[in-house]
Amino acid sequence: MHNILSGVEPISGRRCIKGVRTREGTREGGRTVVDEAAVIARVRAGEPEAYAQLVRAYTNVALKAAVTFGAGADAEDVVQSAFIKAYQSLDRFRDGASFRPWLLRIVVNETRNTVRTAVRMRALAGREALLLGAEPLIPESADPAYAAVAGERRAQLLAAMDELSEEQRQVVAYRYLLEMDEAETAEALGWPRGTVKSRLNRALAKLGRLLPGQAKGGEECG
C-alpha cells in the first residue's frame, strides 16, 4: 500500500505547523482550513499524496482527542493508526460530511482499543498534558454553570470531570476541550443534537456544583 504519511513530518504534540498554504488549504485564525471535499476527491481519483494535507490540518486536534480519552504515551501511535484507518475507509466517507468529527470518532475508538481500561481513560495526568497552556473555551456570556467552569483552575476542572458519567465527560471533552461546535459534537458522538444539549447542560451544572467556591444548585435541563 502506498505510504499515505510519506512527506509528512512525524507527529508530535509539541510541533506547530506554520505557513501551510496549498491549493486546498489556507491559514485562518491560527488554524489550517482545508477544502476537505477537494482533497478527498483527489485521493479517490488516484492522488493518495493529497491525503497529507488532511494529516497536517488535523494532527493537533487528533492528538488532543487521543490524550483526552486516555492514550497517554501512546497518543502519537494512536493518531498514526487512526489516520491510516481513516484513509482506508475513505470510500465509505459520506460526501458532504465534515471530515474532522468523522476522524475524531476513529481516533477515540482507536484510543479505547489501545487503552482497554476506564482507569487509564480517566487518568488525570493525561488530561493535564492536553490542557497545558490553554483554558477550555467556555464562553463568558454563557449561563452560570458555564461561568463556574470557566473560572476554575485546570487541575480543579480535570479532577471534577472524574465525577461525571462517561457520556458527560465525552460531551464536555468534544464541545470544549476539542473546540467542536454542537453539530460536530453530535456527529462525532453519533447523538441527536438535542441529546448533546441535554447531556452538556447536566454535565456543566454538575461541574458547577463540584468545583470549589461555586454556587450550589441550579436546574438541569432535560
Q: How would you write 21-61 as a 3-class SS string? A: CCCCEEEECCEEEECHHHHHHHHHCCCHHHHHHHHHHHHHH
Which stretch of DSSP H or E encloses residue 155? helix 154-161
Answer CATH for 135-210 from 1.10.10.10, 3.40.50.300, 3.90.1300.10, 3.40.50.11540: 1.10.10.10
Are 28 and 70 spatial neighbours (Cβ–Cβ below 8 Å)? Answer: no
pLDDT score recorded for residue 28: 47
Sequence ranges of the chain with CATH classification 1.10.1740.10: 25-118
Checking if the pLDDT of 34 tops 60, the result is yes
What global pTM score does this model have? 0.67
pLDDT score recorded for residue 114: 83
- Quote the strand ranges of the chain, DSSP E: 25-28, 31-34
User: What is the topology classification, in CATH, of domain 25-118?
Assistant: Rna Polymerase Sigma Factor; Chain: A (1.10.1740)
The residue written with cell numbers 471535499 in the block is: 37
Among the residue ranges 27-31, 115-119, 172-176, the one predicted with the least confidence is 27-31
Checking if the pLDDT of 29 tops 60, the result is no
Mean residue pLDDT across the chain: 76
